[in-house]
Chains A and B, each alone.
Chain A
Amino acid sequence: MPTVSRTARGAIVEVRGLTKRFGSVTAVDDLSFTVEPGRVTGFLGPNGAGKTTTLRILLDLASATSGSCSIGGRRYRDIPEPAHQVGAVLEATNFHPSRRARAHLEMLAIESGIELSRIDPVLELVGLTADANRKVGGYSLGMRQRLQLAGALLGDPGVLILDEPSNGLDPQGIAWMRDLLRHLAAEGRTVLISSHLLAEMAQTVDDVVIVSRGRLRVQGPLSLLTSQSHSSMRVRTPERDRLAAIAHAAGYAHRPEGEDILFVDGATPETLGPLIASNRVVVYELVQVSQDLESLFLELTTSMTARRAPAAVAAP
């Protein structure tokens, strides 16, 4: 991975009590979270959760009904030479189709006061050197995403804000972007990346901010979320009713399935095994079933109660 940075330093991104209403619809509802430098933070939630609206307010493209956002302690509009501090990828449609890719970057460089000598390195970084003189109208969605990313990196910013950047990318493209974002965060930059797919982001992000219906559900390190994903034990036994009573007495929730299967939620082989042995229950099969990250994500985004991971504050 080529070095992107020369002087980039990440900055803290803060969203405080942010609310945005469109008429009677509340798109963002009293949302607060913090994004730390040197880490990739996934801003996750289903479609319509308020992610794009939040990012647009953060970048001063939209106004907040109440609350505030800051990058490095300043509002976006108050940042001098913002393209040198913040790079953003919002959607792959921000191009004039008749303009060539190189000209698009040149336009951004002129607007932002960035040296034109930065264009070739960023084109090379995103793998568009060979297509730089083609009109953007002929680009695929994935190529547009790469061009957007090139534009965001043009000013060598310390903060990167990316809205669904993997849209349109093929699996190789997604892997490439994952490596790039990890590399950028390792250089000390702040990377905030939104997505509606937690599973896709699981290998990329260090921290997660999960929103649903405009409200915060969870904020904290991904590792903490993974540890919260509870497992259950699937037991095949001819004494299902007796095992159910034993599990109930031990404080486990349980549910039957089929003729002889019992799921014991929250149990592990280490906790359920001794219980079965001490009660001399006949068991044909004992399997641990872990809840996958995606179903946990679904559970979190449909839950109405916000949770804040305690370790979030102490996140490195």
Chain B
Amino acid sequence: MTFSPRLVRAELFKFRTTPGAWVCIGVVLLLTGLGITTSFINGSNGVVHFSAPTTVVGLRRLMGAGYTAAIVMAPVLGVLSITTEYRHRVLTSTLLAHPRRADVLGAKVLASALWALFMGVASFVMIGAMGIPLLLTEGGSVSALLHQVGPVLPGMLAAYVLLAVYGMGIGTLVRNQIAGVIIALGLTLVLEPIIVAIFSSLAHMDVNFLPTRATEAIAGGVAARGPGGAGAATTAHVLLSWWLGAIALVIWGIGTAVIGYFTTFRRDVT
């Protein structure tokens, strides 16, 4: 396998010239907006009120408002990057231009990672554009929020990137676009919680290597359970360290892509 910068450029161009990748960014902005709004909903003594977060937990929740968007849309982007080629048979043109398939798959991994990074940046732009004015309106401290950039932003961006690679792996295995999206979302939102419930609660098995748990570890535990960084005491469960989470997610992503390469991507293109 050789690295081809122009193939990566072409893959990014494909994202740029089709609606799917832009829809992913739109949904990221929407979900981040919802995340920002919910981080202002606080409760005390059974009373829910709309106010600026002031605690470290609350501020990290605001800074990590793009977490749900990452969990949902980054894998979908990865799925789209490969299944769009099958759906519209663009893969024929791609392979005629560059017949070495491993190079094509490698370029897709890199391009998906870069576009996902762009999605992550967009979510932070949304936090800046919507969250900070809201914080000021509600009398919150911007400098206190900016103190949480360091603990949250790198992990969150890494989560976007690695989840996109994971989605690409799923797309390579499945090839069918609708099935790929359903499987990616179903695994994250339905199957993993069930597996966690069964294996963690009943059998007391370690489920922290599952993709969403690994993502949670990388993103610093800013999921609904609460922020706090790797292994934070505020999370409802003990997570992997961020780097172990990253390794787990890389293995999920690259592993599925490699299996997909050997089982489906090398097949005849009809």
Contact = CB atoms under 8 A, between A and B. Distances in A.
Interface of A: 56, 59-63, 76-77, 82-83, 86, 88, 90-91, 93-100, 103, 106-108, 110-113, 151
A96 B19 CA distance: 10
A111 B7 contact: yes
A83 B89 contact: no
A108 B270 contact: no
A88 to B, nearest CB: 6
Contacts of B205: none
Given A88-B96, A91-B92, A111-B94, 7 more contacts: A56-B269, A93-B88, A96-B18, A98-B17, A98-B18, A103-B17, A108-B93
Interface of B: 6-7, 9-10, 13-14, 17-19, 84, 88-90, 92-100, 268-270
Given A60-B95, A103-B17, A108-B97, A96 B269 contact: no
Contacts of A62: 268-270
A82 B18 CA distance: 26
Contacts of A99: 17-18
Contact of A83 (B9, B18, B97, B100): B97
Contact of A151 (B6, B10, B13, B93): B93
A6 B35 CA distance: 58
B10 A82 contact: no
Between A76, A93, A100, A112, the greatest number of chain B beta carbons within 10 A of the residue's beta carbon is seen for A112
B15 to A, nearest CB: 11
Nearest to B16: A103
Contacts of B17: 96, 98-100, 103, 107
A91 B270 CA distance: 10
A61 B269 contact: yes
A291 to B, nearest CB: 36
7 contacts: A59-B99, A86-B96, A98-B19, A106-B13, A108-B97, A110-B10, A111-B97
Q: Which 6 A-B pairs have the closest CB atoms?
A: A62-B268, A111-B97, A77-B99, A111-B10, A110-B10, A112-B97
Nearest to A106: B13
A54 to B, nearest CB: 13
A18 to B, nearest CB: 14
A91 B269 CA distance: 12
A179 to B, nearest CB: 25
A82 B99 contact: yes
B92 A107 contact: no
Contacts of A111: 6-7, 10, 93-94, 97-98
Contacts of B269: 56, 61-62
A106 B18 CA distance: 13
A109 to B, nearest CB: 9
Contacts of A107: 10, 13-14, 17, 93
B7 A97 contact: no
A94 B89 contact: yes
B93 A110 contact: no
Given A62-B270, A110-B10, A94 B88 contact: yes
B92 to A, nearest CB: 5
Contacts of B98: 82, 111-112
B6 A94 contact: no
Contacts of B14: 96, 107
B9 A110 contact: yes
Contacts of B88: 93-97
Nearest to B8: A110
A94 B90 contact: yes
Contact of B13 (A59, A77, A83, A110): A110
A62 B269 CA distance: 6
A56 B270 contact: yes
B99 A76 contact: yes
Contacts of A96: 14, 17-18, 84, 88, 90
B176 to A, nearest CB: 16
A82 B13 contact: no
A62 B95 CA distance: 11
Contacts of B19: 98
Contacts of A151: 93
Contacts of B97: 82-83, 108, 111-112
B90 A95 contact: yes
Contacts of B18: 96, 98-99
A218 to B, nearest CB: 27
Between B13, B18, B96, the greatest number of chain A beta carbons within 10 A of the residue's beta carbon is seen for B96
Contacts of A100: 17
Contact of A90 (B10, B92, B94): B92
Nearest to A114: B97
A94 B94 CA distance: 10
A297 to B, nearest CB: 26
B261 to A, nearest CB: 15
A82 B90 contact: no
A83 B94 CA distance: 11
Contacts of A76: 99
A99 B20 CA distance: 11
B270 A94 contact: no
B12 to A, nearest CB: 9
